Structures are given as structure tokens and as C-alpha cells.
A and B are shown apart, each in its own frame.
Chain A
Amino acid sequence: MKKKKDSIGARIKKAIVKDWQLFILIMIPISFVIVFHYIPIYGVQIAFKSFKPSLGIMRSPWIGFDNFKNFFNSWQFSRIIVNTLRLSFYGMLISPLPVILALQINYITNAKYRKAVQMITYAPYFISNVVLVGIINLLLNVRTGPLNNLIYMITGQQTDILGSATAFPHLFTWSGVWKSLGFNAIIYISTLAGVDVELHEAAICDGANLLKRIWHIDIPHVLPTYVLLLILSMRNILQTNFEKVFLMQNSLNIRTSEVISTYVYKVGLVANIPNYGLGTAIGLFNSLVGLILLIIVNRIADKVAGYGFF
């Protein structure tokens, strides 16, 4: 046993002597990774402890799975899981939109107009979440918002969309479309640029019209990319955009807008008596589900597209 250990040690020593410059270089970023990623991973143990700040991480007493049980048994549990999944699935539902936009941009024949459309549709991607939610609030303000006035003109009813729990998932998703549809289309636009022109020419000779050619040539060409991105997005199914959800939350829409990440923040950091252990346990649950999904999804991607992540 001891002999083997020595030999590993000796090997490491030899490697370090040989590549000492490379080791020095890489240890600079790696030390940050160790401090800011691996020490928190070590701290995850408080998910299984009754954490007392005065005792610290090490000396707080172990309590097994109590924090997890508390979470699973709380009345909030099913609600926030459903809310989180609702936003994720809604996101998947609209995932073909960037493909459609890319196809549309691809068939704008006027080069200048195409460029202009691209420029305009990418631009909102650079707007911050704070500003995005600020704009939503201004547009839908019950008294002064032009969108709200438009709805009033059409339906004759004054509705407070910002305070509506049923409207929240739609508002969240479609404002996201507004912000990033153009940007998400970029990858498909460049994929479409790789379609063989001869295929189209041959199809035209055979009398295929534009719709047929899009259906039989363009769509099969972008499909693998689409499927791959969709499958990979599954691993983030419990991850929602904290920054945006949190900003859009208010006491009236909380029924549908409380998701796992915002709940962790509230329970673990801003509550009157922050429950660090419970917050960490929920975070860990979230991470583990993500990890399991990633492994499953990676298998599927490997089978379907022959393109696994590792």
C-alpha cells in the first residue's frame, strides 16, 4: 500500500518538475475555482446539518435528511415544483420559434432589408433584465401603459395583467421571446447558410415550390441542431431565470411565480430567521435532479444524434 502511494507521489513530483511553468500558469485560475466553486461544494454538507452560524460548518450537528423532509412536506413544495416545470415546458413549447424566424430571415430576398431585420431582432438581447421588466411594467401599467390601453379598447375591460397569476407564465415566456428570439435564431441562420444550393436547384427542376423545398430540404437540415439543443435544454428543466422571475414577482402573482430558485433565496437568505440548512438542501436537490437529467439526456443525445456531451 505504502509503496504504491510513494510511486504516485513520485510521479506527480516528476510531472511538476517537467511542466513546472505550465503548472504555475494553470494554478492561478484553478485556485479561484477551488475557492469559489469547491469550497461551496464542501459547504453543501450543511444540507444534512442543523446549521448554527456560531458553530460553523464543521461543528454544527448532523440531522440526516430532516431538511429534505421539511422541504418535501411543506405546502409550498408541489406548488413551486409545478411552477418551475410550467415555465420550463412553456419554454420548450416555443422552442421552434427561432427556427421559424431563421427560415423567414433566410428567405428575405432584399439583402439590406434582411440585414435590418437581423439587426433589430438581435438588439433586445442586450437589454438587462431590470430594464426588460421595467419596460413590461410601463407598457402594461393599468393607467398609462399603451398595451393595457389597447387591451382595454379591444375587450372593454380594465385588467391588471401585472398582478394576474394566470397571466404570469405567458408574460414571462413571451417577454423572453421578445428579448432573445432574434439571438437564438443566429445559430439556425448560419446552419441554413450551409444548405447545398444544388439541392434547391434540383428540387426546382423537379417542380417543387418554395414551401415544399423548405419542408423537404431546409427543415431536415436544421433538425439535428434543433433536436440537440432541445435535448440539452432538458438538463436545465429545474433552472429558471432567477433574475427575471424575481423581478416580475409581486404579491398578486406569487401563486404561479414562486419557483425553486426564488424560494431558496427567500428561505435561505432573506427570511427573518434564514434557514441556511433548508436553503442548501433545496439547492442540492435542484443540482442533483439537474445532474441526473444531464446524464439521461446525454445518453439520449448520444443515441439520437450520435453527439454526446462527454
Chain B
Amino acid sequence: MEKDKTLWRVAMLIPPLAVFGILVVWPLFSSFYYSITNWNGFSADYRYVGFDNFLQIFHDPLFTRAAVNTVIWMLAAVIVPTGLGLVLALLIDSQVPGASVFKSIFYLPICLSAIVVGQIWVWIYQPDWGLLNTAINLVTGGNSHFAWLAKPGTALYAVIAAWSWQQTGLAMVIFLAGLTAIPPDLIEVCHIEGASSGQRIRQVVLPLLRPATVVVVALGVINSLKGFDILYIMTGGGPFNSSDTLAMHMYNESFKKYHMGYGSAISVVLFLIALAIIFAYFRQLRKVDEIYE
């Protein structure tokens, strides 16, 4: 019986583990290896360069730029979709008529591809007839033709706004799932005790939404690390690398300039950042679990 079980374990785990091992785990470790070489992507002739690629990172102003932008993107991800998603979830949860329609509307952008979302927002920022300038001109009566995506000062934030538009719906449904997990008796008690809506939300609902908040924040930070497609189509990291992120910088170095060794070093840095976030995330989840068990 126990021997049977072991046989089945092996037989059932080999296919998924083999695929995952060959196409995910092994490449991950190869990245470490390439990061200490000067491979150019095609030639068979490359050599070991030690930590030169990692030292180069410190002298690469474009890397610094990309790292700072990635941090800005993460911070924005924690503030904008999380805040907006929470507000929307609280509003929708208040048994308002048409709640499910509202939910679908706010959630819709999630099923669009980053490419399509990017394109939609390129039009919003279009200098001559885009929605943003049209709206500004309507309100101020001016004649603005500001090119939001072509100015180094605004390009990054314009892309983050578009990205947030898509991510807010995801944050909202996670908060909604958290809200339905709150026992209705508790809310009832608030009503009976005569607590105001503000008191109820601040003292009962928000503390109970802690697990959902952990998830939303972690996902936001992780997804901001992955932000590539939308950047590729909206600015390509420009103008003058002003909206570059680490993911974009890694792509440019590796597949535009064919500095695959240096690109691998950037991907190792990306991996370490992601690993740190994932560790913190799993630990927080466990803590949250302990509180509720």
C-alpha cells in the first residue's frame, strides 16, 4: 500500500517537475552563470569575467535611473490601486443597487492585454485630440497640446496611471473577497450598538481587512516589477530613458545591445528583489493566518 503510494507520487510528479525544472528552474540557475560571463547572445566564444558585470551595474547611470523608476512604480502601486480599490470595494459592498454591474465595470480592464491598455492610453495622452487634453481644455478654456508621453517629466507617471487603471479592479475584487469574509453578525452588532459608518469602517472593517491588504500590496509590488509590456508600447522606456524600469533595462541591454552577460546580471538583481518581496509576503501571510486560527 505504502509502496504503491510512493510509486504513484513519483509517476505523477515526474511530468510536472521535469517541465518546471527544465524550463524554469534550470534557466534560473543558468542566469547566474551567464551573469559572470561576457556572452553576446550568439557567439560560442565567451569567457568568465568574474563580478565585472555586477561592478558595471554601479557605474551604469541608466541602471540607477531604472532602479529609481522601479521604486517609484512600486510606491505608486502600493498607494494608487490599493487606495482606489479599497474605496471602490467599500462603496460596492454597501448594498448599493447595481453593485454587480459596477463590479464588472471596474474589473473589465483586467481581461484586456497590457498592449491594448497601453494603446488605449496612448490615445488618451494624444496631444491634439486625446481625452486628457480635451478635458483640460474644456475645463480651463485653454488650448493645451501637451505631449504627456514625450516629456521626460511626465512619461513615467503617465504610464503608471494607465497601469493603475488596470490594476485597480484586481485590488477591488480582493478587498471585496476580504469584506465578504467578515462575519455579518459583527456588522449587525455595530448597527445595534449605534456605531456610525465611519466608526464601523475604521474600528471594525479596516482591521479585519488586514489579510486582504497584505495580498493587494504584495501583488501590486510584484506586478510592478513585472511591468514591461505596457511600458514597451507606451514609451519604450523613453524619452531619453526617463521611464525605464529594471525589466525594460534588462530587455534593452540583452536583446537590443546583445550584452547578454550584463543583461543576466540585471536579471539576477531582479531575481533577488523579487525573492525578498516573496519571502516577506509569505511571512506576512503566515502571520495573518496565525492571528485568525
- Same complex: no
Interface residues of B (CB under 8 A from A): none
Interface residues of A (CB under 8 A from B): none
